[in-house]
Structures are given as C-alpha cells and as structure tokens.
A and B are shown apart, each in its own frame.
Chain A
Amino acid sequence: MNTIVVDREKCVGCKLCYRACWRDVIRWDEKENVPRGVYMEDCAECNWCEIICPHEAITVKIDYSRPFPSPYIPGKN
C-alpha cells in the first residue's frame, strides 16, 4: 500500500494537500494541524498533494509491489 510522509518542520498547515486529494485519502488532523494519510488503499498516486504543496512538505511513497489483475486470461495471465 502507498504511504504518505509529512515533514512537520516544513508543513505550514495550509490544507492544500487535503483539498487536492480527490479520493479522500488524506484527512486533516485538526489537533496537530497536519495532514494524515488515512485511507491509503484508495490512493491513486496522482501526486497532486505533493505538487500543490508550496513547501514540499508531503511525499507519496508508491508501493510498486501491489498486484495487477490478470491482464489477459482470467486467473492465469
């Protein structure tokens, strides 16, 4: 599963990453005033949270090992 890493030193709490996450993967932790990757199973690795962040405070680490369904013949290959 993908993961999200937040650099709390750089994060200014502008919420742009939260707003840009159209799959509702990122939720805002109001108490800590930082983004949290809560529903990572739905991350589409569009990287919008990263490219919208003015301070490069957030990074999506893509899990390249996640499976792909059988492309050609069901259950075989």
Chain B
Amino acid sequence: MPQGLDTQVYETDILVVGHGIAGLAAAISAKENQPSLRVTTVDKGCVGYAGKANKGGGHVAFIPEGGEEQYVEYHTRNLGDYLNDQDMLRIYANSTLKTLGRWESWGVKFIIPRERALNAHPIIPWKITLVDLDVMVQMGRYARELGIKSVEKTTIIDLLRKGDRVVGAIGFDLITGNTIIFKAKAVIMANGNQNWGIVPMWSSGRGDGIAAAYRAGAKMRNAEFGSFIQIVHKDSKTVSYGAEDCLYNAQGENVSTRANLEENLRTVVGGVDLGGSQSVLMYLEVRDGKGPIYEKVEENKLPGSFIGRNLCCQGTADPPFYRPWAQKFWDRLNAKNRAQCPGFDVPLRESVPAVVGEMSPLYVDHNMYTGVPGLYAAGDICANGSAWSGAVPTPPGRNRGSGLMHAVLTAIIAAKSACEYAAAVSWEDPEPDQIDALRQRMYANLNNRGAIRPTDMKWQIQNIMQPVAYTGYKREDRLQEALGKVLELKGMLPDLVARDPHELASVHECINTVLCAEMFFRASLARKESRGWHLREDYPHRDDKNFLKWIVIKDNNGEMELSLEDVPIERYKYKPE
C-alpha cells in the first residue's frame, strides 16, 4: 500500500453499491422494510446525480391492469426470442403498477397520471409515463429523511469474503486515495452495467460491479447481448432521434428500408428497434463502398412531432408533458450542437451506428440473489443476467421505458431478500489476508513504472467495441480477431499507470472493461446462431435445437469458463412455433 494513505472502516447491516436509481430504491426499500437495520450506499458520484437515470430519458414503462399476459406472450415471441425467463417476465408484468405506487410514495412525481399515460406500442398493452430528470434528487431527499447513510466520491473495487460469503467491500476515496472498507451482513450490487464509454451520454456504466461480482465468484448470463446500438450524429456524438427512417448513402439512395435484409435480420416486429437492424444496413452499405451514411434532416419527422416534443424533448413539450429539467437538458445540448458543431445544422448529417452497450450479465434468480451468499443485485447490472427480457440488450432493448421500471422493481425485490438474509445471519469479519491482497491489487498501478495512460487504453478498447463488424454483425473470424485484440490489451493491463486516485479509478475501469469485453466476445463466439439482437453473418438462423440455452460464464481459477444452461422451455407457456 502506498505510504501516506489511511484506512477508514464503515460498519453497516446492508451495503448498497451504487446510489443511482436502483441503488437508492434498494436502500429506501430496505430501510422501509427493516427500519432498525443500518443501510449505507456508496458511489463515485454524489446522491441526486449519480447513475444514468437523469441523463436524458425519464421514460417509465408499465403494463396496465388486464394486459399482463398479453404483454408476456408478445415480448416472448417478438422481443425476447424465447430466451427470456418467462416466469421473471411475468413477475415484471404483474408488478409494474404496484411498483409505480410504491415509487410514488417516496416523493417522486410522475408527470402524466397513469390513466392518461401514452400508448408506447401499437399492438400490446405497454404504456409510458414520465418523470423529470430531478428524480434522483427527489429520491435522495427521501433516503436522507429515512436515515440512510451515503458515502460519496468513493469507488468500490472488490467484494470482501469470509469463506464463500460476501461480508463487505473494499475501495478507495477518489479525492484522498484512502482505503475505504465496508463491513456488511449483505451487499446489494446496484452500480450499473457496461457501456464501453463510446457515447458520452451513457458513460456511467463501466462494469465495475460486474467485474467485482465475477471476481467474488458470481456467474454471468447473456453477456453476448451487450451491444445496444443507437444512431448518432457523428460530429456531435448526440443521438439522432428519428434518423433511422431517413438514412441515405453517399449515392443518394434511401437505405432506411429493411426490404434488402434477409428475413431473419428484420428484427423489428412492431417494436422499437432503436438501431439494431439499421446498424447492419448501414454497415452493408459502407462495406460495399456506398458510405458514408447521412440523415436527411428535412425527412426526419420526429423532432417537433407529438412523440418528439413530449417524450424526447425535441421541440418544446406541450404543457401536460412539460418537464423543466428534461427540457433544459435537451435544449442546452441541442443549442450547443446547432451553434458550435460543424456538420450539425446542415441538410445532410453524417450519422453512424454507435455502440452504447448496456451489457448487464450478472446472473440473479427471481429473488435477485446472485448465488454467492450475502450478495444480491438490482437494476442495470443484472438486467440481462436475470433473463427477464431475453435475447435483447437490456435496458432498454426494444422496450423503451423498461430501464427505470426494472431498476425500481428489482431493487424492491433485492432489498426484501437482503433484509431477510441480514436478519438471519450473524456478523462475520472479512479475512485479514484477503484485505491485504486486495489492497495490494487495488493500488498496484498507482505511480508504478507503467507507461500506458488509462485514456489511451480506453481509446483502444473503444476501437474494438465500436466497429459494427465486431459487435453488431458478428462472424467467427471477426470475433476471433476482436477477442485476440482484447486479450492483447489484457496482457498490457499491468503497464497502466495512474498518477492520482482519479486516474487509479480510470485504471480499474480499464481492467473491468477489458474483462467485460472478453466475456462479450467469448459468449458471442459460443452462440452459433442468430437470435434477437445477436446477429451472426455465418449462422443467420435461429437454432432452437442447439441454442435454446443460456450461455453462463464463471471464473475458474482465473480462467473464464463457459457452459450452456437449458432454457426450461418445456414448462414455459410460450414455445417456439
């Protein structure tokens, strides 16, 4: 351990890693369930602003009463592609209204009353209401009133164990670099998914929690679906809402139509695709020498439309839908792009499919239990790992608004499970030798003799994760090539150097992102079929005989071990036709 650094130890009954929306919802639920328990949250950011919930969306999906089973069937057949845990999806569908009620009781204001909520889909019962982007401030205030303690500007690197049981976590203070140790009876991981850092708006998820849980023995599932793609304007890196319907190649041909795609690649079935099949279309055009691809601005009807104004703040929202913070957020960004970004305020904007990611593979059961004693999860970190949504990056995949709803619902479940566990077990201290070893690993790159800056490593990772040829439209040789590059970076990790605690956190983000990238490519190689968002050029069809299975990843003495787990389709209600 570097000289001059201190160690601070906190004791708490339940530790929630992350105070974004899932973390605060889990902490609030736990405190409401068991007011006598000490509940603590920890995050790199500050309460009210941490996480992803206030970064532009604010859409909240729910299923109206009576429509639940129709939703489950539609989602399974058209979005989950039979890879979803139908029981978990049913729990989701049956719980959204109750979740809205509990969420509202925490002081959160919904902009549209649920009886007047918007229809989000032309066929299935799936509705959308809205929260403003100060939702985290509202929840933070309530958490504080309940007596929840929050530790800010602190990154958690690893989980502490006693035998197989998780009994705390270790990290460091971003300002001072001091070691921070939490001793806890139960830990809830709620610090987000992996978003590769390519699109600025989604750069909160760096896989820190995924990696910590993996190293502590937790399993992963559905890692191959971590390549959510949005179409962005290349120069501003801002999402081009509606661009998917007015894309033109360099020869002036409209390439938005999906008619040229093979049947199995037409993944939009009445849902909101948000870039999956379009990214393949764009890739094929560019591969064939017809790039770049442009958005013909005058043909984009979304900005200013009812949906554009009121759901996406592209134009001023009508009074019933007006959200002061969301409007300010988008107006500010759009005004800067228009005034300062070359190539933005032009008739043809160059647009690219940008890999957001949303890799969320932490494996949990219906109680949000990871299988490691004392360790639970909520929100984005386990959105694919719970398998509720199936073969689609989650959230939001093709199910806009489900991210916030899933976060709060799974937080409520995780809190209940963690409270019951914490009430039943006695205190155990982490093993001192383990603390020493983890501390050594944690500071290994601080002022070492390495020569690689974390910013340089991040750029290299982004150049592997972004190309559609690697992550959006997969093929054996390209996946092997990408995996080879990831493993090369893995070998370079000891040469990363940090000059201060902030950079040390960046180093760990690199380490964790490389780990997630390895999971993504290994799982993508193992799934030799096309299903949902996982599109293989060399295996263009769904293969229910061999791949109605989940790919599960586990650490085996430092090696990544993959196995197949059968989807229990025989006992599920909806089966492939």
Beta-carbon contact of A51 and B237 below 8 Å: no
Q: How far is the CA of A71 from the CA of B198 in the complex (A)?
A: 10
Beta-carbon contact of B464 and A74 below 8 Å: yes
Given contacts A24-B502, A71-B468, A72-B468, are A46 and B352 in contact (CB under 8 A)? no
Chain A hits for B292, CB < 8 A:
77
Chain A hits for B332, CB < 8 A:
47, 50-51
| Residues in B324-370 with C-beta less than 8 Å from chain A | 325, 328-329, 332-333, 336, 340-342, 352-354
Beta-carbon contact of A64 and B287 below 8 Å: no
Beta-carbon contact of B336 and A62 below 8 Å: yes
Beta-carbon contact of B44 and A22 below 8 Å: yes
Chain B hits for A47, CB < 8 A:
329, 332-333, 336
B507 within 8 A of A: no
Chain A hits for B468, CB < 8 A:
71-72
Beta-carbon contact of B455 and A41 below 8 Å: yes
Q: Quick one: CB contact mask for B449-490 with A, threshold 8 Å, 1 for yes? A: 000000100010011111111100000000001100000000
Interface bracket on B: 35 or more
A19 within 8 A of B: yes
Beta-carbon contact of B198 and A72 below 8 Å: no
Chain B hits for A75, CB < 8 A:
463
Q: How far is the CA of A2 from the CA of B175 in the complex (A)?
A: 22
B371 within 8 A of A: no
B45 within 8 A of A: yes
| Residues in A12-66 with C-beta less than 8 Å from chain B | 19-24, 27, 38-39, 41-48, 50-51, 61-62, 64
B203 within 8 A of A: yes
Q: How far is the CA of A62 from the CA of B334 in the complex (A)?
A: 12
Q: How far is the CA of A21 from the CA of B175 in the complex (A)?
A: 14
Interface bracket on A: 20 to 34
Beta-carbon contact of A23 and B203 below 8 Å: yes
B50 within 8 A of A: yes
Given contacts A24-B505, A74-B470, are A64 and B341 in contact (CB under 8 A)? yes
Beta-carbon contact of B462 and A24 below 8 Å: no
Q: How far is the CA of A70 from the CA of B234 in the complex (A)?
A: 11
Beta-carbon contact of A22 and B204 below 8 Å: yes
Q: With both chains docked as a complex, state the minimum distance between the C-beta of A25 and any C-beta of chain B, in angstroms.
A: 9
Indicate which residue in B49, B198, B237 contacts A20 across the interface (CB closer than 8 Å).
B49
Beta-carbon contact of B236 and A69 below 8 Å: no
Indicate which residue in B49, B153, B341 contacts A48 across the interface (CB closer than 8 Å).
B49
Indicate which residue in B174, B235, B463 contacts A64 across the interface (CB closer than 8 Å).
B235
Chain B hits for A39, CB < 8 A:
502
Q: How far is the CA of A17 from the CA of B557 in the complex (A)?
A: 44
Q: With both chains docked as a complex, state the minimum distance between the C-beta of A67 and any C-beta of chain B, in angstroms.
A: 8
Beta-carbon contact of A72 and B467 below 8 Å: yes
Closest-by-CB residue of A relative to B342 is A64
Closest-by-CB residue of B relative to A75 is B463
B310 within 8 A of A: no
Q: How far is the CA of A8 from the CA of B353 in the complex (A)?
A: 40
Beta-carbon contact of B46 and A22 below 8 Å: yes
Beta-carbon contact of A73 and B44 below 8 Å: no
Closest-by-CB residue of A relative to B344 is A64
Chain B hits for A61, CB < 8 A:
340
Beta-carbon contact of B353 and A71 below 8 Å: yes
Chain A hits for B466, CB < 8 A:
68-71
Q: With both chains docked as a complex, state the minimum distance between the C-beta of A17 and any C-beta of chain B, in angstroms.
A: 10
Given contacts A22-B44, A47-B332, A77-B291, are A62 and B49 in contact (CB under 8 A)? no
Beta-carbon contact of A24 and B174 below 8 Å: yes
Q: How far is the CA of A51 from the CA of B132 in the complex (A)?
A: 14
Closest-by-CB residue of A relative to B327 is A51
Q: How far is the CA of A39 from the CA of B453 in the complex (A)?
A: 13
Given contacts A19-B48, A71-B468, A72-B291, are A48 and B203 in contact (CB under 8 A)? no
Q: Which 4 A-B pairs have the closest CB atoms?
A: A22-B45, A71-B352, A69-B466, A44-B200
- Given A44-B200, A48-B54, A74-B482, list of 8 further CB < 8 A pairs? A22-B49, A24-B45, A44-B201, A46-B201, A51-B325, A68-B466, A72-B469, A74-B469
Query: Which residues of B does A touch, CB under 8 Å?
Result: 44-46, 48-51, 54-55, 153, 174-175, 198, 200-201, 203-204, 234-237, 282-283, 286-287, 291-292, 325, 328-329, 332-333, 336, 340-342, 352-354, 455, 459, 462-470, 481-482, 502, 505-506
10 contacts between A and B (CB under 8 A): A22-B49, A22-B50, A23-B204, A48-B49, A50-B332, A64-B340, A68-B234, A72-B286, A72-B287, A72-B469
